Amino acid sequence: MAESSSSHAHHPQQQPTVATCKASEEPNKGVRHLCERGERARHMSPDIRAPVRYGTSFNQLNDGVLCWRDFLKLLCNPARLDDVVPSWPNNPSDLREVMSAYARANQGLFRELMEAALEAMGITGEGVLEELDCGTQMMMVNCFPACPEPELTLGMPPHSDYGFLTLLLQDQVNGLEVCQGDDDWLLVDPLPGALIINVGDHLEIFSNGRYKSVLHRVRVNSTQLRISVASLHSLPPERVIGPAPELLADGTPRRYMDTDLTTFLDYLASAEGKHKTFLQSRRITT
Ligand SMILES: O=C(O)CCC(=O)C(=O)O
Ligand SMILES: [Fe+2]
């Protein structure tokens, strides 16, 4: 995997070529149904730690401007997937089956991508792959309804994802943009059957800045509803994440403070979850 922050998993110019996820065709179909008829009220919660949570915006309590988005968050930690699936909604009736198969497929692909990332950095990671196997995985099922005045809002404001990598499935409707510099946004064209791989804050920290987490946002449009499914992967919540010791062994200065998922969630619960502000708060600037 090249040390760029966002790439398509099966784009011919990207290294390595990773097989497209066969399961990727199913979730979008089911999700559209869910957004139209889902069990919204039952899973509506302001608690950002709830394992199943339906809502809008990052944080309904603190965000000043709500996003033009509905989401369903499903916790699906790899070591506990079978235990959590029964707590997921079962309407539509195949949601659990489809989404758990998709979660598993993402776990396998995430592991392959992390193996490639470690290889690219020339390190073993000292057991980090095994720790990731018992880490966290969250799937965000996003639904962006058509918006009568798309210029006045965003589906999601600029943000970076917190984990190591996000495996993102978008449907055929444009919307995702990645930041290339000062207010310079690149539209990520949907490629049928391809996943977008975004680097998250934890990989930026773990790689001591060799991978950069990607700032991205979602635009909405006036005619079409858009669906995406983001699978966010990281270490166990209590695991302290810092730069890999192997990357500092030659005296390279550490560029980030240690952090953990709990600290991030506390931050998210208390502040507007926008931009790369959390990551910036972990950066060592000397
Ligand atoms: O809808 C998209 O393409 C991106 C969604 C996203 O950034 C997220 O769920 O964190
Ligand atoms: Fe995101």
- Centre of ligand 1 to C-alpha 218, Å, is 7
DSSP tag of 258: -
Nearest ligand by distance to the CA of 170: 1
Q: Flag whether pLDDT at 25 surpasses 70.
A: no
Cis amide bond preceding 16, omega within 30: yes
| Average model confidence (pLDDT) across the chain | 84
Q: How far is the CA of 228 from the centre of ligand 1 (A)?
A: 7
| Tokens encoding 29 | 């179909």
Pocket test for ligand 1, best of 67, 147, 168, 189 (most atoms within 8 A of CB): 168
Query: Is residue 67 in contact with ligand 1, taking CB distance under 6 Å?
Result: no
Length of the chain: 286
Q: Answer for the pair 171, 226: CB distance below 8 angstroms, yes or no.
A: yes
CA–CA dist 72, 140 (Å, integer): 6
Predicted confidence band of residue 13 (pLDDT cuts 50, 70, 90) = very low
Q: What is the mean pLDDT of residues 136-144?
A: 95
Q: Does residue 16 register a pLDDT over 90?
A: no
Angle at 187 between CA 272 and CA 56, to 5 degrees: 35
Token pair listed for 98: 């489809």
The pLDDT confidence band at residue 263, using thresholds 50, 70 and 90, is: confident
101-109: average pLDDT: 98
Ligand 1 pocket check for 154: Cβ under 6 Å: no
13 φ, ψ (degrees, to nearest 5): -85, -5
Cβ atoms < 10 Å from Cβ of 183: 7
Ligand 1 atom at minimal distance to the Cα of residue 161: 10
- Cβ atoms of 192 and 172 within 8 Å: the answer is yes
- C-alpha Rg value of the chain to the nearest Å: 18
Kindly report the backbone phi and psi dihedral angles of residue 111, in degrees, each rounded to the nearest multiple of 5, phi listed first: -65, -45
Is 218 touching ligand 1 by the criterion CB < 6 Å?
yes
Give me ligand 2 centre to Cα 250, in Å.
34
The closest-lying atom of ligand 1 relative to the alpha carbon of residue 175 is 3
**Cα(266) to centroid(ligand 2), Å:** 18
Which residue puts its alpha carbon closest to atom 9 of ligand 1?
230
User: How many angstroms separate the alpha carbon of residue 159 from the centre of ligand 2?
Assistant: 6
Average pLDDT for residues 75-85, to the nearest whole number?
A: 95
**For the residues 108-114, what does the mean pLDDT come to?**
98
pLDDT in tens, 26-45: 566 556 555 555 466 667 77
